[in-house]
Structure 1
């Protein structure tokens, strides 16, 4: 029978029972107090049991049952929550109070009739224990030793007890959840502290209203201060900033306070006379009106990292210089010949002019002028080669990017390798644009890349029959594409992925540093470009891609033919 309660009397719950139940710290003890009270008011006519809902198993299990002589669930410790269960399980399933006035004649009780008769349970009342959100917490079941014709007169009191049990269970559940959250938070805090300590990260919190600043132990260690020395204000931090970085850091803070940037930067401090490099991140906190009130974050010492980075950069610069010298060494004989030939011409012209002056008192001024002009042109050729060598050999890493005509870079590069290629019969084919293309670059670095690729090609093919090198230049959607291909058979695919790795070389011992392609790749990438090996080409072919700054008008044509042979 599920429905409204019809009773002859209403019994209220005594205040002292309420106080005992709600003030007791133990959930089970509180439920025991309720059970004891049931025993007092039953007069021996009925007894009760509190069954708790196990959400994982979807069943009811015994909770508190101090006054049940026969312990009816001793053989059935788990009660399924189901519509066909005769007593507690059915009440739990429907979440409604269930009264069975005569268990011996109730169809749902047929399979339990012998047990009910043995325990002298002839009527029952099951009241679901629900949370404030009507979630099932358990069932308060009462068993009577006689059949009934109407709801028990104690029903309102028993319902009140069930409601109180719900309050107890829900409160204890919330308390357990709160304790669990506290433990999780504590564990999380401990893990965070451990992580911060292991990474030597200091935590700080700056009150922008009062000027107070809190540091943890790691912060004092980073800044080389003791707690006794610190004032506990922003002054501790500001005084430690390196004078050379002070203005910059204050500008960063001001920009953060005005919402213009995030607090994520690096700066230097003076720690007991020693310069240290510090990384900092933080978040800006606001009050309900949007006013900035606190800045909190992390600091950590990155001095070792900065010094290591500087050391790496120094070694990289040395490697670049060594690679340049290696390239110059490979070109040395050709460059010497390139200079010696014009010097021979100058010497011959000068001797011829001297002889004429000595033998002919009246010298032909027109003829003399031609000789001098030839000497001047030859001197200019030598000067151009020397300028190219000087530009190539100097360290240009710190030079600013400038807008430079691509053709002038290529011209200077070819001047340096022209004689070497010619001497060994290497044909050079140039296929390019009829327009002048401007690159924003460091010209000597682009020359270094070109010379390195040309020298690699020369080394690979100089001893082969009919050697040739082709430089093909195209432009597409603002990208200048320079393809350098030689007559060699190409690089095997088994090593094609390694050719740009530092110190990898296919040359004989002593003939290559293994740094040329690696450095060239880094230079091109520094120019926002890309250097790659075309593995689909049957010959060895490297492709340089660089952003073209501008394309001048078609009327500004290059003076070099589209294709020629040295």
Structure 2
């Protein structure tokens, strides 16, 4: 029998479909041939002894079984044994049937033909190379194996938009450069420091050209590092083209920010006329007091002069509070977070809300029972939440005889709680299930956009907090939860 021709015949065998691995060893138990593996590690077996290979996978007692069976086969006695392999990743024990049969080639050299297959095909062992290969090759993702020096030893396919030619055997630096290559090395270094842990990163590759200067390829790369003992160390990489997904999310974020800003400035627009009125009132008082001092200053007693000065100072502070609250609310830096007293934000929110309020029958009560109401937030966004809830509450009770809004502040277990309650008697269950949906509203066109509660929810989630409607409360109640900042 010609050894080379025999190996060629073995290569055409359908062994992977049968969960079998076929190998040929020389008389010194060194690999001469092994059937193809999923990742093309074949060349790493050749020249290695079967004992060296199994020492990385089996206990010493199991290796001894293999040695005994191999020795029998060399003496012309077909032999088989069962070897128990322990999976290094999940510690699962799998029993394999190992067969050895000897043959002599046409040159008179003795070789051993071996077959290894699982003793029982169960759920874990039936995911054969064949089925795995089918899933990998048909997947829209690219599966790549790099050796320890970052050369490609296997790739499931070539990403069409990236390259048209084969990349097998190329170094990673032949494919990417610049910041993308720097991120690659950092990601793979982290993977090597954490064997078996999936490290994921987003990589952007510039695909721009004179025809399309804005073109870019955005990839999500997930990599694991594994040490296969004598087989060597390899990086297993799964890369997905997420360009459309990322660009779509960017567009959604831009639209959300635009809607958020529109909602805020719509509220400010509704306040504008009333703010002018609120500022003009204290200005008029200041003007009257100033005129009185100018005309009658010499005739006034010192107590009367001081009283007028105090009155002017009070009106000045009133204007300052309105302007300060308005300034905080109109800020547009979403990323700015600072430690702030939640009660101070509630006071600012009430002040701003009242500037747009012409309903003199509405009563607002704020109760603060918190020992620590310090939170890390974007003040502008949280004021927006409170004003949205106050506006909604007022609109809901506008036609009631008894109109009031109560705000309660408390804290416990490293959290700060705010309840906003109005004199209404709740929301119908079928409506309550929809109130946080985007664009859902029960208001008419003249009472706003219907964006408030959805934006409130997004802002609270972004701050690590929570907003909910309390369905079992006696009066209409919305509850907000914030993570608190520990006091030193």
Q: TM-score, normalised by structure 1?
A: 0.58
Contact 1:435 1:551 in 2 (8 A): no
Contact 2:173 2:181 in 1 (8 A): no
Q: 2: distance between equivalents of 1:534 and 1:218?
A: 54
Contact 2:188 2:223 in 1 (8 A): no
Give the superposition deviation at 1:536.
Answer: 1.0
Give the superposition deviation at 1:216.
Answer: 4.0
Matches within 5 A, 1:180-219: 185-195=129-139, 199=140, 201-209=141-149, 211-214=150-153, 216=155, 218-219=157-158
Matches within 5 A, 1:288-307: 288=229, 293-307=233-247
- 1:418-459 Cα deviation digits (max 9, x unpaired): 355574310112222163521121122111111111111111
What corresponds to 1:561 in structure 2? none
Mark the CA change 1:463 to 1:344 in structure 2 (over 3 Å): closer, same or farther: farther
Picking from 160, 175, 181, the partner of 1:221 is 160
What corresponds to 2:481 in structure 1? 545
- 1:110-152 Cα deviation digits (max 9, x unpaired): xxxxxxxxxxxxxxxxxxxxx989xxxxxxxxxxxxxxxxxxx
What corresponds to 2:334 in structure 1? 397
Mark the CA change 1:190 to 1:231 in structure 2 (over 3 Å): closer, same or farther: closer
Q: Residue 446 of structure 2: SS of its match in structure 1?
A: coil
Contact 1:204 1:216 in 2 (8 A): yes
What corresponds to 2:172 in structure 1? 234
Q: Residue 411 of structure 2: SS of its match in structure 1?
A: strand
- 1:55-107 Cα deviation digits (max 9, x unpaired): xxxxxxxxxxxxxxxxxxxxxxxxxxxxxxxxxxxxxxxxxxxxxxxxxxxxx
- 1:369-426 Cα deviation digits (max 9, x unpaired): 6544533442232122112112212223221x32111221111111112355574310
The question of 1:270 aligning with 2:206 is answered: yes
Mark the CA change 1:333 to 1:550 in structure 2 (over 3 Å): closer, same or farther: farther
Contact 2:418 2:480 in 1 (8 A): yes
Q: 1: distance between equivalents of 2:243 and 2:442?
A: 39
Mark the CA change 1:251 to 1:366 in structure 2 (over 3 Å): closer, same or farther: farther
Contact 1:489 1:540 in 2 (8 A): yes
Q: 1: distance between equivalents of 2:146 and 2:459?
A: 44
Q: 2: distance between equivalents of 1:324 and 1:218?
A: 49
Give the superposition deviation at 1:300.
Answer: 2.0
Contact 2:372 2:484 in 1 (8 A): no
Contact 1:219 1:299 in 2 (8 A): no
Q: 1: distance between equivalents of 2:324 and 2:127?
A: 74
Contact 2:370 2:409 in 1 (8 A): no
> In terms of Rg, which structure is larger?
1
The question of 1:501 aligning with 2:437 is answered: yes
Q: 1: distance between equivalents of 2:352 and 2:117?
A: 82
Mark the CA change 1:251 to 1:391 in structure 2 (over 3 Å): closer, same or farther: same
Q: CA RMSD in A?
A: 3.4
What corresponds to 1:443 in structure 2? 379
Q: Residue 325 of structure 2: SS of its match in structure 1?
A: helix
Give the superposition deviation at 1:302.
Answer: 1.2
Give the superposition deviation at 1:329.
Answer: 3.5
Q: Residue 320 of structure 1: SS of its match in structure 2?
A: helix
Q: Which moved more, 1:331-340 or 1:410-419?
A: 331-340
Mark the CA change 1:288 to 1:537 in structure 2 (over 3 Å): closer, same or farther: same
Q: 2: distance between equivalents of 1:234 and 1:374?
A: 76
Q: Show structure 1 runs of 5+ residues with no match.
A: 1-130, 134-166, 168-173, 553-566
Picking from 250, 262, 267, the partner of 2:185 is 250
Give the superposition deviation at 1:278.
Answer: 1.0
Matches within 5 A, 1:344-355: 344-355=284-295
Q: TM-score, normalised by structure 2?
A: 0.67
Give the superposition deviation at 1:314.
Answer: 0.7
Mark the CA change 1:176 to 1:278 in structure 2 (over 3 Å): closer, same or farther: closer
What corresponds to 1:406 in structure 2? 342
Q: Residue 510 of structure 1: SS of its match in structure 2?
A: helix
Give the superposition deviation at 1:288.
Answer: 1.8
Q: Residue 491 of structure 1: SS of its match in structure 2?
A: coil
- 1:233-264 Cα deviation digits (max 9, x unpaired): 1212342x5x3x55444322222222286332
Q: Show structure 2 runs of 5+ residues with no match.
A: 1-78, 82-100, 102-114, 210-214
What corresponds to 1:53 in structure 2? none
The question of 1:387 aligning with 2:327 is answered: no
Contact 1:406 1:436 in 2 (8 A): no
Q: Which moved more, 1:538-547 or 1:335-344?
A: 335-344
Q: 1: distance between equivalents of 2:349 and 2:433?
A: 28
Contact 1:257 1:292 in 2 (8 A): no
Number of residue-to-residue matches in the alignment: 368
Give the superposition deviation at 1:217.
Answer: 7.3
Contact 1:222 1:300 in 2 (8 A): no
Q: 2: distance between equivalents of 1:215 and 1:202?
A: 11
The question of 1:281 aligning with 2:222 is answered: yes
Contact 2:143 2:238 in 1 (8 A): yes
Q: Which portions of structure 1, spanning 4 or more consecutive aligned residues, are displaced by more than 6 angstroms?
A: 174-178, 180-184, 362-366
Mark the CA change 1:251 to 1:418 in structure 2 (over 3 Å): closer, same or farther: same
What corresponds to 2:47 in structure 1? none
Give the superposition deviation at 1:528.
Answer: 1.7
Mark the CA change 1:325 to 1:527 in structure 2 (over 3 Å): closer, same or farther: same
